[in-house]
């Protein structure tokens, strides 16, 4: 996840080739989400709670001490199976550590629903070729895994 002052995700319209905005946020977290075969509702709930409660926004003294929720932030969730890319062998990444597409799609959509219980959430499109634009705040970039 990255703390951002703004972020958006677009894809090209199939008929015109023009970019179409799928989701856009102001202050908040851009979350690149990948899923493993063993992930389930417990991991999704833990991750959503972590994203909304993680104190990564500055307080009045400039210390990271304010949660996403308390800062009035939003989440932009983008599916990103390539996070499971294993580059340890050969010249092409292996994605065997990622959940298969059907399972990953179901997990992604449940994750979106779970995150929406905590506040404002925007999303990309699962499986689409997208362009992500962001203005990183800090920069603050963290890997969160359970």
pLDDT digits (tens, 9 = 90+) for 7-54: 999 999 989 999 999 999 999 999 999 999 999 999 999 999 999 999
Q: What is the 3-state secondary structure (H, E, C) of 32-96?
A: EECCCCCCCHHHHHHHHHHHHHCEEEECCCCCEEEECCCCCCEEEEEECHHHHCECCCCCCCECC
Record the pTM: 0.94
* Residues 57, 109: Cα–Cα separation, whole Å: 27
Confidence of residue 79 (pLDDT cuts 50, 70, 90): very high
Q: Which residues are catalytic?
A: 80-82
Residue 61 CB-half CA count within 13 A: 3
Q: Please measure the distance between the N-terminal and C-terminal CA atoms of the chain and give it in whole angstroms.
A: 14
Range of the structural domain that residue 53 is part of: 2-139
* Residues 34, 96: Cα–Cα separation, whole Å: 12
Unique residue bearing structure tokens 């015109």: 16
CATH number at residue 67: 3.50.80.10
Confidence of residue 146 (pLDDT cuts 50, 70, 90): confident
Please state, as a whole number, how many other Cβ atoms lie within 10 Å of the Cβ of residue 117: 11
Confidence of residue 59 (pLDDT cuts 50, 70, 90): very high
Count of domains forming the chain: 1
- Whether residue 16 lies inside any domain: the answer is yes
- Whether residue 28 lies inside any domain: the answer is yes
- Whether residue 13 lies inside any domain: the answer is yes
Say if residue 87's pLDDT is above 90.
yes
Say if residue 125's pLDDT is above 90.
yes
- Whether residue 7 lies inside any domain: the answer is yes
State the average pLDDT over residues 64-76: 98
* Residues 125, 40: Cα–Cα separation, whole Å: 20
Pairing between strand 121-123 and 74-79?
A: parallel
| Contact status, residue 29 vs residue 76, Cβ threshold 8 Å | yes
């Amino acid at each position: 996840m990255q703390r951002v002052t703004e972020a958006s995700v677009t894809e090209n319209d199939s008929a015109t080739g023009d970019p179409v905005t799928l989701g856009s946020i102001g202050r908040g977290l851009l979350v690149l989400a990948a899923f493993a075969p063993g992930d389930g509702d417990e991991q999704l709930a833990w991750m959503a709670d972590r994203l909304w409660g993680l104190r990564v926004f500055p307080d009045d003294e400039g210390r990271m001490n304010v949660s996403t929720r308390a800062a009035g932030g939003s989440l932009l969730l983008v599916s990103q199976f390539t996070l499971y890319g294993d580059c340890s062998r050969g010249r092409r990444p292996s994605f065997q550590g990622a959940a298969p597409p059907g399972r990953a799609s179901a997990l992604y959509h449940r994750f979106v629903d779970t995150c929406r219980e905590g506040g404002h959430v925007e999303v990309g499109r699962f499986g689409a070729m997208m362009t992500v634009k962001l203005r990183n705040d800090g920069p603050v970039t963290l890997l969160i895994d359970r």
